[in-house]
Amino acid sequence: MFSIPEIPVWLGQWVFALFGLIFGSFFNVLIYRVPRDLPIAFPASHCPHCMSPIRLRHNIPVLGWLMLRGRCKDCRALISIQYPIVEAITGILAFCAVRLVHPDASELIDFARVLPVFWMMITLVPIAAVDFPYQLIPDTVPVGGLLIGVAVSFLPGGMDWQQSLIGIAAAGGGLFLFAFIMGKLLKRDAMGLGDVKLLAAFGAMMGWGHSVAAVIAASFLALVVMVPWRLIRKESNHEPLAFGPFIGVMGPVMFLWGDRIIAWYWNLLRF
């Protein structure tokens, strides 16, 4: 067996924030390339105007953009401020993930809990940025979640692999079945496959119960947010709805506070 590093939270929060910044840089690639159906790994980052490659030091999250003062080194074309903003938000979410798991900074990092919350929180950035405009969730998000689900099953205090597998099958499979039946009833696609994959990954990270609770809570949240939003924007109800961001938000909520929320909900039903 390998030994798990013992890192105090006050230090670990910055380490995870750093990883958040790096993932933020990668999410910029996803946000640009996935909707355009471009390969993710190749070519390396380049200026979309003059195609010249971005130098390594200018690829440093946030700082690279500041060094360049928001312009391409070669052709002086503007580089969107969206890039450093995405990186900064992802870094901040990573920091928050650690502190939500560990309000007490003197504890040691519990990787079995921090890793899933870290992944679920930082991936809200690509989910929101791609799903809202395109009704699409980059596959990297659920694939990473599945990998973390597997990794965590090797850690003390993590979910065991049987629970993970049942979670994947029941949460992902259940939502797939639900979407399929709704699709037949409504005679149109009720839900994207991206939502199903996302929920399968949730199942791997927190088991089927909390994942199902996340979908139910997400439906309420979507209703509360989207009905007024559509009234204000005078959008029709037939326009496709991005459900991914709502499931995405409820993932870490259920991971962190699911036991209490589910208990409260059962209590409510008893009256």
Residues in binding contact with Zn ion, number by CB under 5 A:
7
d(CA 194, CA 200): 10
Q: How far is the CB of 113 from Zn ion (least distance, A)?
A: 43
Residue 123's H or E segment, with its range, is none
d(CA 96, CA 106): 16
Long-range CB contact pairs, 175-178, < 8 A, 24+: 175/199, 175/200, 175/215
Between 70 and 173, name the residue whose CB sits nearer to Zn ion. 70
Binding string, residues 8-47; x marks residues near Zn ion by CB under 5 A: ---------------------------------------x
Between 73 and 230, name the residue whose CB sits nearer to Zn ion. 73
The closest alpha carbon to 233, from 241, 190, 189, belongs to 241
Q: Which residue has the tokens 């999410």?
A: 27
72 binds Zn ion (CB under 5 A): yes
Q: How far is the CB of 62 from Zn ion (least distance, A)?
A: 19
**Dihedral (C-alpha) 41, 249, 263, 227: value to the nearest 10 degrees?**
-140
Between 47 and 261, name the residue whose CB sits nearer to Zn ion. 47
Between 49 and 188, name the residue whose CB sits nearer to Zn ion. 49
Q: How far is the CB of 40 from Zn ion (least distance, A)?
A: 21
Q: How far is the CB of 57 from Zn ion (least distance, A)?
A: 16
Positive/negative CA dihedral, 5, 14, 19, 90:
positive
49 binds Zn ion (CB under 5 A): yes
139 binds Zn ion (CB under 5 A): no
Between 77 and 263, name the residue whose CB sits nearer to Zn ion. 77
Backbone angles phi, psi at 8, to 5 degrees: -70, 150
Q: Which residues bind Zn ion (CB under 5 A)?
A: 47, 49-50, 72, 74-75, 77
